Amino acid sequence: MADPLFNIVTVGILVIAVMMIIYPLYFIVIASVSDPNLIAQGKVWLLPQGFTLEGYQTLFANDAMLRGFGNSLLYTFVGTLVSVAVTLTTGYALSRRDMPGRSLFMILFVITMFFDGGLIARYLVVRDLGLLDTMWAVILPGAVGVWNLIIARTFFETNVPAELREAAQIDGADDFRFFFGIALPLTKPLIALMAMTHIVAYWNSYFDAMIYLNDESMYPLQLVLRNVLVESQASASLDTGSIDSYAAAQRLGELIKYGMIVVSTVPLLIIFPFLQKYFVKGATLGALK
């Protein structure tokens, strides 16, 4: 029989932990529609105070906002497809013990985790490949993560035994048919794990776009939001007309910051619950041997 005191303590700790995680997110939401002056005075902590949508109106009044949202959706969708496809196929190949040079390839991949050519070298490579100001400049440089590759290889080694492949070969299945017809259907948790990690990475990415894209019409949402915030802060710092105008600019800047967090986070919060079960299972199975 379970100890009632233990259950009470456990539930209490879990409730506190959940509140510590959820409340900051909730505070950001209510702060994005509250008067920044009341937030600074500590009067906003459970319900919005001085309700206003000025921050959201400023964000969505910018034409680049919707264009950046569409660009981010495109980069995230295509980038996730490319990354998952490359990671799964490469991980499966490296899991095959009969692959020539398997250990050498694995060593070369691992080396890239510790040594990097640097930003200038990466920029020169992207430029010489003719990828500047294209979608592929944002997608291809980070298409393969070595850590995800190791997880994929381990997953295939532990969940797709060699005996299964040998049985399929006896029945006449070649390597392509085995991979697409047998191995992939067994890797749904792994696919969900890879998809979720790359969706988050591509959606939140702005640095590569800032370096490789000069055409503002191709900017992703994160870079557009960053520029909007920088412009609002610059206008506040340059506005020396009066104290009131400076305070108004600062107030708008605070609203924009909170609104930016909400706008950029909500899509991920909507997607994650649908992939959570597979995400946890894939991370567990892929990390253990």
Q: Is the pLDDT of residue 154 over 60?
A: yes
- 201 and 111 in one domain? yes
If pLDDT is split at 50, 70 and 90, which confidence band does 76 have?
A: very high
158-190 per-position pLDDT tens digit = 887 777 877 887 878 787 888 888 888 888 888
> CA-CA-CA-CA torsion for 90, 93, 99, 103, nearest 10 degrees?
50
- Residues 127 and 253 placed together within one structural domain of the fold: yes
For residue 15, pLDDT over 80 is answered with yes
Q: How many domains does the chain have?
A: 2
23 and 115 share a domain? no
pLDDT of residue 226: 78
* 55 within some domain: no
Domain that holds residue 18: 4-40
pLDDT tens digits along 200-238: 889 888 888 889 998 888 888 888 877 777 766 665 555
Mean pLDDT, the chain, whole residue set: 81
Q: Return the pLDDT at 82.
A: 94
> Mean pLDDT across the stretch 190-196?
84
The residue with greater pLDDT, 78 or 191, is 78
- Same structural domain, 67 and 24: no
- Claim to verify: residue 77 and residue 134 sit in the same structural domain: yes
Name 43's Cβ contacts closer than 8 Å, sequence gap at least 6: 49
CB 53 within 8 A of CB 33: yes
Q: Confirm whether 89 is domain-assigned.
A: yes
On whether both 23 and 124 belong to a single domain, the answer is: no
- pLDDT for res 277: 67
- Selected residue with higher pLDDT from 277 and 123: 123
Cα separation, 10 vs 17, in Å, equals 11
CA nearest neighbour of 148 among 86, 203, 204, 96: 86
Q: Does residue 3 have a pLDDT over 60?
A: yes
CATH code for the domain of 104: 1.10.3720.10
Task: Give the whole-angstrom CA distance, residue 205 versus residue 223.
Answer: 8
Q: What does 52-89 look like in DSSP terms, one character per residue?
A: --HHHHHHHHSHHHHHHHHHHHHHHHHHHHHHHHHHHH
Position 46 in a domain? no
Asked, for residue 270, whether it belongs to a domain, the answer is: yes
Q: Is residue 47 part of a domain?
A: no
**pLDDT above 70 for 109:** yes
**Does residue 52 fall inside a structural domain?**
no
Region of poorest pLDDT, from 22-31, 140-149, 209-218, 248-257: 248-257
CB-facing half-sphere around the CA of 13: CA atoms within 13 A: 5
Tell whether 107 and 12 lie within a shared domain: no
Q: Note whether 24 and 85 are same-domain residues.
A: no
- Mean pLDDT of the 103-126 span: 87
Domain for residue 203, yes or no? yes
Residues 18 and 74 grouped into a single domain: no
pLDDT > 90: percent of the chain: 9
Question: Do residue 105 and residue 146 come from a single domain?
Answer: yes
Tell whether 34 and 71 lie within a shared domain. no
Q: Tell me whether residue 165 is in a domain.
A: yes
CA–CA gap between residue 64 and residue 271 (Å, rounded):
24
CA distance 44 to 51: 11
Predicted confidence band of residue 289 (pLDDT cuts 50, 70, 90): very low
What was the pLDDT predicted at 242? Answer: 55
Examine the domain organization and report whether 88 and 145 are in the same domain. Answer: yes
Q: What is the pLDDT of residue 286?
A: 47
Which residue has 């206003």 as its token pair? 52
Q: Is residue 62 within 8 Å of 77, Cβ to Cβ?
A: no
Length in residues, the chain: 289
Residue 157 near residue 186, CB atoms below 8 Å: no
pLDDT at 247 over 80: no
